[in-house]
Each structure stands twice: as structure tokens, then as C-alpha cells.
Amino acid sequence: MLDRAAAETYAGWFRALADPTRVQILHLIASAGRPLPVGEIVEQVSVSQSTVSAHLKILTEARFVLVRPHGTARLYQINERCLSCFPSAADVVMGRTAVPFADVACEVPR
């Protein structure tokens, strides 16, 4: 049985990806290959800056995206470690593998 902490983490990841705009934003940031400011993200998606910011907050809380200050702006980049373990999470939830949660837990790099 999947323990509660793992189930909660995985559920948070799936919730973060449950919106098509967030999936588009995540794809955009991943494809850019560099940190992006909000303004650049807004230019590429068909929603307002406040909506993009709200989506980025959710993606950051799920740890798919990392944020760092850059002067007065904030830059958003992919958390490679989190994205690399996400497919394993789907396999664990679907019962395809029994990877211990600690092995796939997404940590923010220090």
C-alpha cells in the first residue's frame, strides 16, 4: 500500500498538471532551456499576467518550477530533479512498480 505522505505528494503533482494552461506553461519553461521572466511567459500564452502568476505559484508549490529573484524580476526555471521523477510517480500510483517514496521524492536543489 502506498503510504499517505507519498499519496499526498503525488496527488499534489497531478493536481498541478490538471490545468491545460499550467501544462502549456510548464512545457514552455522546459523548452526554453533557460530561466524565463513572467513577461516572456505571458507573451506566449493567451492569459493575463495575473493568471500566469497564479499558475506559476501552483507549479512552484508542486516543485515542478523553481523561482529565483533577478533584480526586480523573478525568473522561473524547471526543477529537473522533480520532472525526472514524475514518470516514476505515475508508475507507482498505477501499481506498475514499487519504488520507495524516498527514491522518487522531489526535493528542491540547494
109 in a domain, yes or no?
Answer: no
DSSP string, the chain: ---HHHHHHHHHHHHHTSSHHHHHHHHHHHHHSS-EEHHHHHHHSSS-HHHHHHHHHHHHHTTSEEEEEETTEEEEEE-HHHHHHHHHHHHHHTTS----HHHH------
pLDDT digits (tens, 9 = 90+) for 15-71: 999 999 999 999 999 999 899 999 999 999 989 999 999 999 999 999 899 999 999
110 in a domain, yes or no?
Answer: no
Residue 99: per-residue pLDDT: 55
Confidence of residue 8 (pLDDT cuts 50, 70, 90): confident
Domain count, the chain: 1
Confidence of residue 94 (pLDDT cuts 50, 70, 90): confident
C-alpha cell at 29: 519553461
List the one residue out of 47, 46, 66 whose CA is nearest residue 56.
66
Domain that holds residue 29: 4-104
User: How many Cα atoms within 13 Å fall on the side-chain side of residue 6?
Assistant: 19
pLDDT digits (tens, 9 = 90+) for 65-75: 999 999 999 99
Whichever domain contains 86, its CATH number is 1.10.10.10
pTM over 0.85: no
